[in-house]
Amino acid sequence: MTTNLSVNINKVATLRNARGENVPDVERVAVDCEAFGADGITVHPRPDERHIRREDVFNLRPLVKTEFNIEGYPSPEFMDLVLKIKPEQVTLVPDAPGDLTSSAGWDVAANLEFLTGIIDSLREAGIRSSVFVDTDPENIRMAAKAGADRVELYTKPYADLYDKDPEAAVKPYVEASRAARKAGLGVNAGHDLSLHNLRYFKEQVPFLNEVSIGHALISDALYLGLPETIRQYKAALKG
């Protein structure tokens, strides 16, 4: 099956914010990523606006012509934002406000009532929901019980083990993807996926709808250029 590439542009915003001006231009980069072949744009606005700002999200909405995916912890402020923006997809992550990056998936059972209410609100607004989870099949089944449309598998453990034992690294993700499929969920994946490990992940993991990649892709673009980088990531996803 075809697996879409959503480019996370948070790191572009981090670079822009370092100088307090508008270089690089986040909006231009999003438009160019699509022109170069990206299937979607991902942003993760955090409360401290250390990279993507609330204003950026509003400015990007009319520009993104593929899929707009907004990640974040579903605080009242975040939900107010996404319900106004109405992106194609919202990815729910359990990050605390000060977290540097996403470091774990949801314990869905412990947050079932909370997540169910959030997902109901997204569905009423016509927004696809994705819940950030680890590879535990029971956790995935609970995401389906909460009403999610998809899960996003947290792939840092895969990336960490890949060089040492790729088969062992990918095995839980193969099982998790099958469990998601059986539960009626779509499957996304993200975190520390790169040109180094992406092709094997795609070849081994069935039913993979989408990967969201930011840090590695933007880092590769410093050497390869953005058009060539996106081309290579898309080629890796063809298996």
Which residue in the list 44, 51, 152, 210 is annotated as catalytic? 44
Which residue in the list 34, 51, 67, 191 is annotated as catalytic? 191
Distance CA 58, CA 114 (A): 26
Query: Taking a C-beta distance cutoff of 8 angstroms, is the pair 132, 152 a contact?
Result: yes
Q: DSSP string spanning 155-196?
A: -HHHHHHHTT-HHHHHHHHHHHHHHHHHTT-EEEEESS--TT
Q: Which of 209, 221, 174, 235 is nearest to 88 (CA)?
A: 209
Task: Indicate the DSSP class of residue 19.
Answer: T
Active site residue 196: no
Active site residue 191: yes
Q: Which of 220, 153, 202, 214 is nearest to 180 (CA)?
A: 153
Task: Indicate the DSSP class of residue 39.
Answer: S
Task: Indicate the DSSP class of residue 109.
Answer: G
- Type of residue at 102: S
Provide the 10 A C-beta neighbour count for residue 65.
Answer: 12
Chain centroid to Cα 225, Å, comes to 22
Active site residue 124: no
What is the set of active-site residues?
44, 71, 191
